[in-house]
Amino acid sequence: MLPMAKILLPVDFSERSTGAAHYALALARRFDSELTMLHVLAPPPYELGGLEALGGAYSTTPEQAQQDLETFLKNEMDVLRVRRLVLEGDPARRIIELAHAERMNLIVLPTHGYGPFRRFILGSTTAKVLHDADCPVWTGAHLEAAAFDASPGFRHVLCALDLGPQSNAALCWAAQMAAAFQARLSIVHATPPLEAGPARYFDPQWRVEMASRARQDIENLKEKMGVQAEVLVDTGEAHKLVAGIAADKQADLLVIGRSTAKGIIGRLRAVAYAIVRESPCPVVSV
């Protein structure tokens, strides 16, 4: 059974935050989870000269924020075990500290990246949480599309594997999620295009052999874990290929792996950031 006793839902009262809450609600109902809704009051930027210089833009008090949080989606959440917390400080740091201190099983939050390089930008809070959180993180660029008229269905779970160290954990999470919702499970792996980078100097047969080895490695992993899933191996830029297959297959959820290492490089590589930004469905990084 997928461990989902505790779900952390950071809330900023935006439309995307409401969409994220929809998914958190569906998961909490299915797994009988305790849902912790967290709103973080961030301090005003120092260079702006404090509260007075902002004309009240940052004048929300902890008491007011708690009141707003208590009424946020109250009717929808009343049937669940919900805890509502207001903290002050840097949002990403507070989210991570709470997740680690209380051993959360999942963090659900939307992205907030904008601008001409939006594929590679998730918004500072989301990026920091993905970088430092130990538990899986559920996010996506289109969570605002979720509505409360119906519970979101999970009919097809797609798991993107790079066959690195985290592939086992990602496939295990995806398989258990698919089983919990009786969803179809598919696995996708992208091999690099020959015309890109050093690969262009190799014999074309190399691509065929590499795809064959990747498929065999995935089949071995499936057999080892007792998983039944369709396997899709194709050539192309990983983020474009994975996002395209997610759209073509109408996947309801995409699962990817994160590195176990922290530090300067971080848990999530650039290609994974691009996958999160371009995926048409929510992405769980495990």
What are 72-97's pLDDT values in tens digits? Answer: 988 887 778 999 999 999 999 999 99
Q: How confident is the model at residue 265 (pLDDT cuts 50, 70, 90)?
A: very low
Residue 10, pLDDT score: 95
Residue 264, pLDDT score: 39
Q: Is the pLDDT of residue 266 over 50?
A: no
Q: Is the pLDDT of residue 182 over 80?
A: yes
Q: How confident is the model at residue 61 (pLDDT cuts 50, 70, 90)?
A: confident
Query: Taking residues 258-263, what's their average pLDDT?
Result: 60
What are 185-216's pLDDT values in tens digits? Answer: 999 999 887 655 555 555 667 778 888 999 99
Q: Is the pLDDT of residue 39 over 80?
A: yes
Q: How confident is the model at residue 144 (pLDDT cuts 50, 70, 90)?
A: low
Q: How confident is the model at residue 55 (pLDDT cuts 50, 70, 90)?
A: very low
H-run or E-run covering 126: helix 124-132
Query: Taking residues 91-120, what's their average pLDDT?
Result: 79
The CA-CA-CA angle for residues 229, 233, 236, to 5°, reads 140
Query: Taking residues 231-252, what's their average pLDDT?
Result: 94
247: left (phi over 0), alpha (psi -120 to 50) or beta: alpha
CB atoms within 10 A of CB 169: 15
CB atoms within 10 A of CB 32: 10
Q: Is the pLDDT of residue 8 over 50?
A: yes
Residue 208, pLDDT score: 83
Q: Copy the structure tokens of residue 76.
A: 């929808």
Give the mean pLDDT of the chain: 83
Residues 256, 283: contact at Cβ < 8 Å?
Answer: yes
E strand intervals along the chain: 6-10, 34-41, 81-88, 106-108, 137-139, 156-160, 184-191, 230-235, 253-256, 283-285
Could you tell me which residue, 276 or 136, shows the higher pLDDT? 136
Residue 281, pLDDT score: 93
- The domains of the chain, with CATH numbers, are 1-48+57-148 (3.40.50.620), 153-286 (3.40.50.620)
